[in-house]
Structure 1
Amino acid sequence: MIQLLDELARMRGRTAVAFRDIRVMHGFTEIENVVLTAVTGAKIPPTVPQIGRSLDHPRQVIQRAADALVARGLIVWRDNPDHKRARLLVATEEGDRLRHLADLAGLERAGQLVGTLDPALVATTVAGLRTIREAIEENIRSFCERTPSAEREDT
């Protein structure tokens, strides 16, 4: 497991470098890019705390990025019928458009990066990593249910 985590960390570093110019070209900080991706990719509009928990980022960091994206007209706040204070984040047409353009550039770059790899190997690896992630998420939920809330960082 430690070797897997090491390889994932190395992969994250390499891909951050490989895709940085695309993010910068669209005027996003790394965290703004993460938040816009979370909002445009969500099946239902997320809240700042939900994005923070899912990505293990402090709520305040996500809040600042969301505020910057709102100021640029890329996302908007919507009232949340399930919560008075945690408003929903929804992408605007411009936010969807910029995310789409960045995704197209990212797909082209990804093709360049994996050009010599067997597509079946990439697909199998993705499926395996998804299975591992889902199992870890389930184990984390089980662990957190047994851990007193005073000892947990996410409360």
Structure 2
Amino acid sequence: MEGDAFSAFAITALRLAGHLTAAGDRLSKPAGQTSARWQVLAAARRGELSVAQIARTLGLARQGVQRLADVLEGEGLIAYADNPQHQRAKLVLLTADGAERLGAIEVAQAEWANGVSAAFTAAELESARAVMARVMEILEAKEEARG
């Protein structure tokens, strides 16, 4: 019984992920970006992460993030900096142009999020977030146990 409920949850989560990605693409398009590029720009704002660390944080393949970062660097939206912790793994830094684009996206995202969230209470959203976080913890633990 719980397995069926979890399967329905997982299918709904996958469908939601698709809708969120499509919404992210719409929100980031006026700034010339995509959801994936937006995620890398937002991670670059932290300034202390390598491509591999960004990939782990986002749950993406390092090679895919590297390709995105190289394109963003070519467009002047991020820059690579020396990493005192690792000679070959450069840090990814947001440039002023990148910050401007990211800011425009985040203004649009805030308005969109306020509109969608109006249909829910804060408690409902927090409960849903907590369940999703717990599922991710369980799945990540299982992946780590497998090696």
TM-score, structure 1 as length reference: 0.76
Q: How many residues are paired up?
A: 142
2:20 maps to what in 1?
A: 15
Task: Tell me the secondary structure at the aligned position of residue 107 of structure 1.
Answer: helix
2:82 matches 1:79: yes
2:72 matches 1:69: yes
CA–CA distance in structure 1, aligned partners of residues 59 and 102 of structure 2: 22
Question: Which sections of structure 1, spanning at least 5 residues, go unmatched?
Answer: 150-155
2:41 maps to what in 1?
A: 36
AA of the residue aligned to 1:30: S
The percent identity for this pair of structures is 27
1:2 maps to what in 2?
A: 7
Verify the 8 A CA contact 1:78 1:88 in the aligned structure 2.
yes
Verify the 8 A CA contact 1:75 1:90 in the aligned structure 2.
yes
CA–CA distance in structure 1, aligned partners of residues 78 and 98 of structure 2: 6
**Runs of 4+ with deviation above 6 angstroms:** none
CA–CA distance in structure 2, aligned partners of residues 138 and 8 of structure 1: 15
2:123 matches 1:124: yes
Displacement after TM superposition at 1:87 (Å): 1.0
CA–CA distance in structure 2, aligned partners of residues 78 and 37 of structure 1: 17
CA–CA distance in structure 2, aligned partners of residues 19 and 28 of structure 1: 9
1:142–1:107 Cα change, 3 Å:
closer
AA of the residue aligned to 2:79: V
Verify the 8 A CA contact 2:25 2:34 in the aligned structure 1.
no
Displacement after TM superposition at 1:138 (Å): 4.3
Verify the 8 A CA contact 1:32 1:68 in the aligned structure 2.
no
Verify the 8 A CA contact 1:23 1:30 in the aligned structure 2.
yes
CA–CA distance in structure 2, aligned partners of residues 145 and 8 of structure 1: 22
2:58 maps to what in 1?
A: 55
**Paired residues for 1:103-114 under 5 Å:** 103-114=106-117
Task: Tell me the secondary structure at the aligned position of residue 33 of structure 2.
Answer: coil
Question: Which sections of structure 2, spanning at least 5 residues, go unmatched?
Answer: 1-5
Which of 41, 45, 48 is matched with 2:48 structurally?
45
1:140–1:22 Cα change, 3 Å:
closer
AA of the residue aligned to 1:93: A
TM-score, structure 2 as length reference: 0.79
1:94 maps to what in 2?
A: 97
1:77–1:126 Cα change, 3 Å:
farther
